[in-house]
Amino acid sequence: MARALCPGSFDPVTVGHVDIIERTSRHFDEVLVAVVTNPSKAPLFDLDERKALLGEVLAHIPNVEIDSFDGLLVDFAQERKISVVVKGLRAVSDFDYEIQMAQMNHKLTGIETLFMAASPKSSYLSSSLIKEVARYGGDVTGLVPDPVLRRLADRFGRGSGND
């Protein structure tokens, strides 16, 4: 059975993440979406909120499971017996960081990383930009799934789905 791991901070999940996970789910029997417990930056949404939002917005994909991990991604992948990571690549700027992680992870355990090209319609999106725009009242409708839009509106008020 072919299984893939899609790891990330998902703070919050964007339509770009959903696109990569949906497309990955068409090429693997199972996809494990793994939410890092402690992202490098203090998260806007806590782990339970990030997992709950992923659960809502990925509910239509039957072969997706959501879990979280602490520590090294390669250790979690070994625990779950998964040997392939799938990551979305948006632009050259992603590549430098992603290739370093892919090569380090491969050096550690031999795990493979496959890169999937982001759709042009979402290739400029990032969770950080979404949060910044929403925080200052910009409209992020269509850039995040509706449940996320509502949660951003709860946090930041107008401009994030509240008007």
Find the shortest distance in angstroms from Cβ 154 to ligand PNS: 22
Angle, nearest 10°, between helix axes 146-156 and 127-135?
A: 40
Q: Counting beta carbons within 10 angstroms of the beta carbon of residue 7, is it exposed (0 to 12), middle (13 to 18) or buried (19 or more)?
A: buried
- Distance in angstroms (rounded) separating the CA atoms of residues 146 and 158: 15
Q: What separation, in Å, do the N-terminal and C-terminal C-alpha atoms of the chain show? A: 46
Residue 127 known to be catalytic: yes
Query: Nearer to ligand PNS by C-beta: 113 or 159?
Result: 113
17, 51, 87, 151: the active-site residue: 17
Query: Nearer to ligand PNS by C-beta: 132 or 163?
Result: 132
25, 68, 122, 127: the active-site residue: 127
Residue whose token pair is 């998902």:
10
Instruction: Judge contact between 90 and 11, C-beta under 8 A.
Output: no
12: preceding bond cis by omega (within 30 degrees)? yes
Find the shortest distance in angstroms from Cβ 140 to ligand PNS: 18
Residue 90 known to be catalytic: yes
Instruction: Judge contact between 30 and 61, C-beta under 8 A.
Output: no
Binding site for ligand PNS (CB under 6 A): 7-9, 36, 39, 72-73, 101, 104-105
Query: Nearer to ligand PNS by C-beta: 2 or 72?
Result: 72
Residue 41 known to be catalytic: yes
Find the shortest distance in angstroms from Cβ 17 to ligand PNS: 8
Closest-approach residue to ligand PNS (CB): 8
Query: Any idea which residues carry the catalytic annotation?
Result: 17, 41, 90, 127
